[in-house]
C-alpha cells in the first residue's frame, strides 16, 4: 500500500486535497440522496393516506350483485394498486392502467406479500413480481375484510437514481478538475521549496573538502514571514557561515602550505651543509676517535633522513599548490619493472611477482613522480611485512583507465587505521623505531601524485591480503 502512495510532497498534498474533496462530495451526495428519498417517500405516503382507499373499496363493492361493474378509478394515479383480502386470503387485486382497472396477475409470493401487510393504517413497502416495489397501506372494509391500496415506488427510485447519477458525474468532474488545478497550484506554491532543494543539492555536490569552491548565491524572495521563506532565509544564513568557514580554512591552509614550502626550502641548505661537514670530518686523514666517528656517522645518517623528509614536504607543498607536473609520454610497463627491481634489490627476502601485459603501456605523465609513487607502494609493502611475504604487482588496461595494484599476503592494516592511511605522518606501527627512515609521508605522496594525474587510489585490507590500487585515465 505504501508503494502506491506518491513519494513527493507535491504528490502527497495533491492526493490529500483530492481525497478530502472526494470525501466531502461523497458526504454531500449521500446526504442529498437520502434527504430527497425521504422527502419523496413522505410525499408518497401522504398521497397514499389521502387516497382514502377508494380504489380498494370499489373492489369491495364490485363483488356485490347489484353494484356497478366498474371500479372507482377516479383521481387514482397510473399503476395504483388495489387489493381485497377476505378470510386472510387475497380475493380481488387490480391495478389502474389507462384510467381503468385491470386484474393483477399474482404469484404465490405476491399473495403472501399482500396477505402479510399489517392492519395498522401505516405505510409499508412490498415487492411484487413483474411490478417492482409498492408502498401500501391496509384499512378495515365494511364487510370485515382488509382493503389494501398501494402506489408504485418506481418514480421515487428513478428520481433518486437520476439525482445520484447527476451528482456522481458532477462530483467526478469536480474532483478531476480540482486534482489538475490543485496539482498546478501546489507546484507553483512549492516552487520556492524546490529552489531550496536544488540549491542544497548543488552545495552537496561541491567538493567542499578542497576549500577552493564557489558557493551559489543566496536564494531570492526569502520572505521570513512564510514557512518556505523562513527556510530559505535559514539556508542563506547557513551558506553564508559555510562560505566564511571555507574562506577562513582556505586562508589557514594557504598559510600552512606557504610555511611548509618556505621552511622546506630554507632547511635544504643547512641540512646539506651539516651533511657535507660530517662527510668532510669523516675524511680527515688523521686519527679519529671511535666515539667521534660514530657520532659523525649518525649525524650523516640523520641529515640524509632529514633531506628526504624536507624533499617530501617540499613535494607535497608544491602538489598542494597545484603546480603542474611534467607531461611526457612514458612506458608504464618499463617504469614498473624498474621500480620492482629497486624493491627486489632492497629486500631480496621478499617474493616479488609481476603481472604485466605483453605490449608496452604508454601514457602521458610525469615519469619521475609516478616512479616515486609506485616505489613508495613497494617500499610500504616490504617495510610492513615480514621476510618471505609475496608481493604482487599487476598492471591492467581498460577502455577508459589504467590500473596498478600492489598486493601482499602480510598481516594487513588495522581497520581503524585504514581511513587515515593516506594522511600525512600516519604510521602503521606507532611504537616502532624511526631507524627504518620512515617519515609517514610515503602514502600521502602516492595520493597527491595520483590525484595530480587525474586518478584515484584506495586500499582494501584484511589479515592475509592487502591491496593498494591506483588508477589513472588513459
pLDDT, tens only, 291-305: 877 888 888 888 887
- Domains of the chain, first to last: 1-189 (no CATH), 328-473 (3.30.565.10)
**Three-class SS state of 319:** helix
Kindly report the pTM of this predicted structure: 0.50
Q: How confident is the model at residue 252 (pLDDT cuts 50, 70, 90)?
A: confident
Q: Which residue, chain included where needed, has cell 670530518?
A: 281
Question: What whole-number percentage of the chain has pLDDT above 70?
Answer: 88
Q: How confident is the model at residue 74 (pLDDT cuts 50, 70, 90)?
A: low
Is the confidence at residue 260, as pLDDT, over 70? no
Among 305, 307, 295, 464, smallest CA distance to 386 is for 464
Regarding predicted confidence, which is higher, 26 or 258?
26
**Three-class SS state of 334:** helix
Predicted pLDDT at 28: 94
Predicted pLDDT at 130: 81
Predicted pLDDT at 72: 61
Is the confidence at residue 65, as pLDDT, over 80? no
Over the stretch 218-228, which tens digit does the pLDDT of each residue have? 777 666 777 77
Written as nine digits, the cell of 106 is 399474482
Q: 278-286: long-range contacts at Cβ-Cβ below 8 A with a sequence spacing of 24 or more?
A: 278/303
Predicted pLDDT at 223: 66
Sign of the C-alpha dihedral computed for residues 420, 424, 430 and 434 taken in this order:
positive
Is the confidence at residue 57, as pLDDT, over 80? no
- Segment 24-30 shows an average pLDDT of 93
What is 203-258 written as a DSSP string? Answer: HHTS-GGGS---PPPPPS---TTSHHHHHHHHHHHHHHHHHHHHHHHHHHHHHHHH
Over the stretch 177-235, which tens digit does the pLDDT of each residue have? 999 998 888 888 878 778 877 777 877 777 776 666 677 777 776 667 777 777 778 87
Predicted pLDDT at 378: 93
Q: How many helices (H) and strands (E) does the chain have?
A: 10, 13
Q: For residues 315 and 304, what is the distance between their CA atoms, to the nearest angstrom?
A: 17
Over the stretch 419-461, which tens digit does the pLDDT of each residue have? 888 887 776 655 444 444 466 788 888 998 998 888 999 999 9
Q: Which residue, chain included where needed, has cell 529552489?
A: 195
Mean pLDDT of the chain: 82
* E strands, 8-131, in order: 81-86, 89-97, 100-103, 124-128
Contact 222, 233 (CB under 8 A): yes
Predicted pLDDT at 250: 75
* 367 CB neighbour count, 10 Å cutoff: 18
Q: How confident is the model at residue 24 (pLDDT cuts 50, 70, 90)?
A: very high
Over the stretch 356-406, which tens digit does the pLDDT of each residue have? 998 888 889 889 889 999 999 999 888 889 999 999 999 999 888 899 999
User: What separation in angstroms does the CA of 411 have from each of 344, 345, 381, 406, 467?
Assistant: 20, 23, 11, 15, 12
Is the confidence at residue 125, as pLDDT, over 70? yes
Amino acid at each position: 500500500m505504501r508503494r502506491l502512495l506518491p513519494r513527493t510532497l507535491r504528490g502527497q498534498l495533491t492526493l490529500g486535497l483530492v481525497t478530502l474533496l472526494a470525501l466531502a462530495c461523497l458526504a454531500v451526495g449521500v446526504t442529498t440522496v437520502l434527504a430527497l428519498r425521504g422527502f419523496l417517500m413522505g410525499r408518497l405516503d401522504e398521497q397514499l393516506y389521502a387516497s382514502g382507499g377508494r380504489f380498494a373499496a370499489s373492489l369491495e363493492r364490485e363483488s356485490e350483485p347489484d353494484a356497478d361493474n366498474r371500479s372507482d378509478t377516479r383521481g387514482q394515479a397510473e399503476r395504483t394498486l388495489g387489493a381485497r383480502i377476505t378470510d386472510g386470503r387475497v380475493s380481488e387485486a387490480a391495478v389502474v392502467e389507462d384510467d381503468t382497472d385491470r386484474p393483477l396477475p399474482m404469484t404465490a409470493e405476491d399473495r403472501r406479500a399482500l396477505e402479510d401487510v399489517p392492519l395498522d393504517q401505516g405505510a409499508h413497502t412490498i415487492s411484487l413480481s413483474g411490478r417492482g416495489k409498492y408502498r401500501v397501506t391496509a384499512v378495515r372494509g365494511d364487510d370485515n375484510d382488509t382493503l389494501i391500496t398501494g402506489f408504485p415506488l418506481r418514480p421515487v427510485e428513478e428520481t433518486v437514481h437520476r439525482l445520484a447519477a447527476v451528482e456522481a458525474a458532477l462530483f467526478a468532474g469536480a474532483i478531476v478538475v480540482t486534482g489538475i488545478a490543485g496539482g498546478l497550484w501546489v507546484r507553483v506554491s512549492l516552487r520556492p521549496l524546490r529552489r531550496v532543494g536544488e540549491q542544497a543539492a548543488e552545495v552537496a555536490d561541491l567538493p567542499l573538502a578542497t576549500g577552493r569552491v564557489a558557493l551559489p548565491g543566496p536564494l531570492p524572495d526569502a520572505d521570513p514571514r512564510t514557512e518556505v521563506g523562513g527556510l530559505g532565509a535559514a539556508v542563506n544564513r547557513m551558506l553564508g557561515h559555510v562560505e566564511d568557514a571555507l574562506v577562513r580554512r582556505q586562508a589557514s591552509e594557504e598559510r600552512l602550505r606557504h610555511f611548509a614550502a618556505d621552511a622546506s626550502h630554507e632547511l635544504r641548505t643547512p641540512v646539506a651543509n651539516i651533511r657535507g661537514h660530517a662527510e668532510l670530518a669523516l675524511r680527515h686523514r688523521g686519527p679519529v676517535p671511535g666515539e667521534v666517528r660514530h657520532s659523525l656517522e649518525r649525524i650523516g645518517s640523520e641529515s640524509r633522513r632529514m633531506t628526504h623528509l624536507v624533499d617530501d614536504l617540499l613535494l607535497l607543498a608544491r602538489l598542494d599548490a597545484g603546480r603542474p607536473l611534467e607531461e611526457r609520454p612514458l612506458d608504464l610497463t618499463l617504469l614498473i619493472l624498474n621500480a620492482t627491481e629497486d624493491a627486489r634489490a632492497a629486500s631480496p627476502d621478499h617474493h616479488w611477482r609481476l603481472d604485466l601485459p605483453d605490449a608496452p603501456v604508454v601514457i602521458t605523465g610525469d615519469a619521475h613522480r609516478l616512479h616515486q609513487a609506485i616505489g613508495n607502494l613497494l617500499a610500504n609493502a616490504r617495510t610492513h611485512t615480514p621476510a618471505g611475504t609475496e608481493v604482487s604487482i599487476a598492471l591492467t588496461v581498460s577502455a577508459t583507465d589504467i590500473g596498478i595494484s600492489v598486493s601482499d599476503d602480510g598481516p594487513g592494516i588495522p581497520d581503524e587505521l585504514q581511513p587515515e592511511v593516506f594522511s600525512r605522518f600516519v604510521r602503521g606501527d606507532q611504537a616502532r623505531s624511526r631507524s627504518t627512515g620512515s617519515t609517514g609521508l610515503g602514502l600521502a605522496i602516492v595520493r597527491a601524485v595520483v590525484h595530480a594525474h587525474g586518478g584515484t587510489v584506495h586500499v582494501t585490507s584484511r589479515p592475509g591480503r592487502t591491496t593498494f590500487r591506483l588508477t589513472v585515465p588513459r
